């Protein structure tokens, strides 16, 4: 007990210090973010853009699809361009032609090598020179650059309008015509795109060769190449990771873990009678199955748009389901079904652990269910309709689609979900309270479950921190608090503690050793995980300290994953501990799969893109998609399915349960995911990385690469994996379907038997 108290103290200290540093970094980002000038004007006094244009343009882009339609500073979807890199390249080309016309009365392409070199130097100087006047709060451009900005702006104005000359390009970007029908929105959009590209090339004040985005994107025309810091901190992070892994291996080799106890002869949960609130969680899991089915369907459509753009095998599907909507649903439902599975698991185990059913607990579980259903349906429908009808920025921000990846639902739905999560944490706390008050060996585990639940509810408040005019750098800062800390942090702590609790209830691990192990695992994970959030923010207009801190601590995130195989092996041995454990075989195998995908998806593929030098070239490429699919479904998805199967085992008649569909479900899901990642996404990501390194980010994201024969072949190579994966989902749906009808048949048989007895 004394050792466990020490661990809790260390956990508290690490959390306080880590969040203090994270908040301090947030303050530095706020102070050093690229300035948004009151005016962007030429030296002859012509005003090109105002601050209102830039701020409204940010919202206009988000309302048109935002991070579901290309990226800005590397964050978003992978089909359309990175708009900041695309603008920067197009403006540089426009300057080349303008300088050639001025100095040589000829097109740039017709010049000799020496003249081209001179003009290249002029272009680089023009774009890197920071002409922002802080006193006047104005960005003053030379007349020739002002003309280049006007030419570039016309392209994007036409693209987001309905100019017929760009129909083919829109098809390649999976864009629908008139993405922004309002002329003022398009004008503002060009102001926002210009500002993001200006920040990507202009030297920071009192610096040379260092832009506000730390020279991202790679663009040889303006001298955007990796900084020395990116290389140095990448090397340092690798050295730290190797040393920390060695330390972790040494620790485990010198601290022999206590052997698992002799399992009981019979299933300790066999006689568990589900309470009313536990039974009420059953419908949550059927919603989980429906959301998985919808998410997979939207994923198939979204992937196909990478080939046909706005059609699905010739049918103009984008007229009713554009790419921005299908991808929004695909990414949003992924988080929602996983979260729903975990929330339902918490509500199920609370009375099972405490042995206490609070008054009105079942009513609370039912109210929460219908509230969550309303939020999911409402946010999806209004986001869809708002996109189709182009309702504008106010509608998109408040009740439509905010356009931010994984946090896309409108602000009203976010507020309602925040209230719902707090209500869930309250229900969970009510159910666990008797067990929290009563001294026991497992009280530490129960406390960890409850604290993680409080953090899950409380930290969703970070989705409410940005407004319509919040600086884009700060929007990204807070968004990653939610995506990284909420999904990848506290939900994982919650699920890990729940699994440990379930194993202790089954008598497969000792409660005392599980207490210490879970707190220690949480310390190791959060020590790297909290400040590791910053690896998402290397190039989003942040100070260089973000690269240093983010790279070092994100390297530490890999450390616990390096020995995750040990835990997976122990879980496998536990699945064979006694004949009755076979009743939970497929749930435990899902937990073992989590260990595999933690090592491969989160560990290997994650660290492959986490170092600053790697992410410099690969941010916004398919390497990120490979890591995302392997980690999100492989780790969190399989964890959610495993928890769901565990709970359904206790909610379903033993006679109605059948493993016949679970075997193919398990193997097809994992095999299909492996095929999808390693046959399609990973090769596509490597090809794009080559394109980014050799010619620049703009080229790697251009139609020339994205719609090249190789890349389109990679899209088609997703089909075998998608089919195998979809078969796995079909078996999961079949399993859930049988549960419904077999239970109904049993109830009818029981009723008939009772009637006959009378």
Tokens of 77: 């979807």
What pLDDT does residue 752 have?
A: 60
Neighbour-count burial of 696, counting CB atoms closer than 10 A to its CB (0-12 exposed, 13-18 middle, 19+ buried): buried
Sequence-distant (6+) residues with CB within 8 A of 595 are 564, 565, 567, 568, 571
Q: Select from 199, 77, 54, 84 the least CA-distant residue to 542.
A: 199
CB distance 391 to 382 below 8 Å = no
Q: Which residues of the chain register pLDDT less than 50?
A: 1
Between strands 39-42 and 47-50, the pairing is antiparallel
CB distance 161 to 186 below 8 Å = yes
Query: pLDDT tens-digit profile of 185-236?
Result: 999 999 999 999 999 999 999 999 999 999 999 999 999 999 999 999 999 9
Crossing angle (nearest 10°) for helices 443-459 and 491-505: 150
Query: 441 vs 4, 352, 521, CA distance in Å?
Result: 11, 16, 18
Residue 543, SS3? Answer: coil
Query: 295 vs 602, 637, 665, 670, CA distance in Å?
Result: 21, 12, 17, 17
Structural domain boundaries in the chain: 40-225
Q: How far apart are CA 624 and CA 608, in angstroms?
A: 9
Sequence-distant (6+) residues with CB within 8 A of 553 are 527, 528, 529, 530, 531, 532, 534, 535
Q: Is the pTM of this model over 0.85?
A: yes
Tokens of 393: 């920025």
What pLDDT does residue 744 have?
A: 62
Q: Return left, alpha or beta for 30; rule: phi > 0 is left, psi -120 to 50 is alpha, else beta.
A: alpha
Residue the block writes with tokens 């009378």: 758
Q: How many CB atoms lie within 10 A of CB 637?
A: 24
CB distance 688 to 707 below 8 Å = no
What pLDDT does residue 748 have?
A: 62
For residue 708, the 8-state DSSP code is S
Q: How far apart are CA 429 and CA 211, in angstroms?
A: 49
Q: How many CB atoms lie within 10 A of CB 312?
A: 16
Biggest alpha carbon distance in the chain? 105
Residue 341, SS3? Answer: helix
């Amino acid at each position: 007990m004394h050792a466990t108290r020490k661990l809790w103290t260390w956990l508290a200290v690490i959390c306080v210090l880590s969040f203090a540093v994270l908040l301090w970094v947030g303050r530095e980002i706020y102070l050093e973010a690229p300035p948004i000038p009151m005016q962007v004007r030429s030296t002859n006094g012509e005003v090109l853009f105002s601050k209102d244009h830039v701020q409204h343009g940010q919202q206009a882009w988000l309302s048109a699809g935002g991070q579901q339609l290309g990226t800005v500073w590397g964050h978003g979807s992978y089909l359309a361009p990175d708009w900041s890199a695309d603008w920067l390249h197009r403006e540089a080309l426009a300057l080349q032609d303008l300088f050639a016309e001025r100095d040589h009365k000829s097109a740039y392409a017709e010049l000799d090598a020496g003249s081209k070199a001179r003009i290249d130097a002029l272009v680089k100087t023009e774009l890197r020179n920071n002409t922002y006047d802080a006193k006047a709060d104005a960005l003053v451009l030379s007349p020739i650059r002002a003309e280049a900005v006007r030419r570039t702006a016309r392209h994007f104005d036409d693209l987001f309008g309905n100019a017929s000359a760009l129909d083919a390009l829109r098809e390649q970007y999976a864009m629908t015509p008139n993405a922004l029908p309002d002329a003022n929105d398009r004008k503002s959009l060009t102001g926002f795109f210009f500002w993001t590209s200006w920040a990507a090339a202009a030297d920071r004040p009192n610096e040379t060769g260092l832009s506000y985005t730390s020279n991202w994107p790679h663009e040889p025309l303006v001298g955007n190449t990796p900084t020395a810091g990116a290389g140095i901190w990448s090397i340092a992070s690798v050295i730290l990771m190797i040393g920390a892994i060695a330390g972790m291996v040494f620790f485990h080799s010198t601290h022999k873990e206590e052997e698992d106890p002799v399992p009981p002869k019979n299933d300790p949960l066999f006689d568990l009678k589900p309470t009313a609130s536990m039974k009420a969680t059953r419908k949550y899991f059927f919603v989980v199955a429906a959301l998985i089915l919808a998410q997979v369907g939207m994923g198939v459509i979204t992937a196909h748009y990478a080939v046909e753009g706005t059609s699905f095998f010739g049918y103009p599907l984008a007229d009713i389901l554009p790419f921005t909507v299908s991808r929004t649903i695909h990414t949003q439902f992924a988080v929602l079904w996983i979260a729903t599975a975990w929330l339902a698991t918490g509500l199920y185990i609370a009375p099972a652990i405490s042995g206490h059913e609070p008054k009105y607990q079942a009513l609370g579980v039912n109210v929460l269910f219908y509230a969550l259903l309303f939020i999911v349906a409402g946010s999806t429908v209004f986001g869809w309709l708002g996109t189709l009808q182009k309702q504008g920025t106010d509608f998109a921000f408040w009740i439509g689609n905010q356009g931010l990846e994984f946090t896309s639902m409108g602000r009203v739905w976010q507020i309602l979900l925040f209230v719902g999560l707090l209500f869930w944490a309250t229900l969970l706390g009510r159910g666990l309270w008797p067990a929290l008050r009563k001294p026991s060996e497992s009280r530490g585990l129960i406390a960890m479950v409850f604290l993680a639940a409080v953090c899950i509810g409380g930290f969703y408040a970070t989705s409410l921190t940005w407004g319509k005019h919040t600086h884009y750098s700060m929007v990204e800062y807070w968004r990653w608090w939610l995506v990284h800390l909420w999904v990848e942090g506290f939900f994982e702590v919650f699920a890990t503690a729940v699994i440990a609790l379930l194993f202790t209830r089954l008598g497969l691990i000792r409660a005392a050793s599980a207490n210490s192990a879970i707190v220690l695992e949480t310390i190791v994970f959060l020590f790297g995980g909290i400040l590791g959030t910053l690896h998402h923010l290397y190039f989003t207009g942040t100070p260089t300290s973000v690269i240093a801190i983010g790279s070092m601590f994100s390297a530490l995130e890999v450390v616990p994953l390096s020995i995750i195989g040990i835990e997976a092996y122990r879980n496998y041995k536990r699945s064979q501990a006694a004949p009755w454990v076979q009743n939970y075989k497929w749930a435990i195998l899902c937990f073992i799969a989590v260990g595999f995908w933690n090592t491969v998806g989160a560990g290997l593929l994650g660290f492959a893109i986490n170092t600053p030098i790697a992410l410099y070239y690969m941010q916004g490429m398919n390497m990120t998609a490979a890591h995302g699919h392997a980690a999100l479904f492989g780790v969190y998805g399989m964890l959610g399915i495993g928890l769901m199967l565990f709970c359904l085992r206790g909610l379903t008649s033993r006679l109605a349960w059948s493993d016949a569909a679970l075997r193919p479900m398990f193997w097809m899901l994992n095999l299909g995911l492996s095929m999808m990642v390693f046959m399609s996404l990973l090769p596509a990501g490597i090809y794009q990385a080559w394109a980014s390194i050799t010619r620049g980010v703009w080229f790697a994201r251009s139609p020339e690469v994205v719609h090249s024969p190789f890349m389109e072949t990679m899209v088609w190579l997703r089909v075998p994996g998608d089919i195998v994966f979809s078969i796995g989902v079909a078996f999961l749906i079949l399993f859930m379907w049988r549960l419904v009808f077999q239970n109904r048949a049993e109830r009818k048989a029981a009723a008939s038997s009772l009637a006959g007895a009378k």
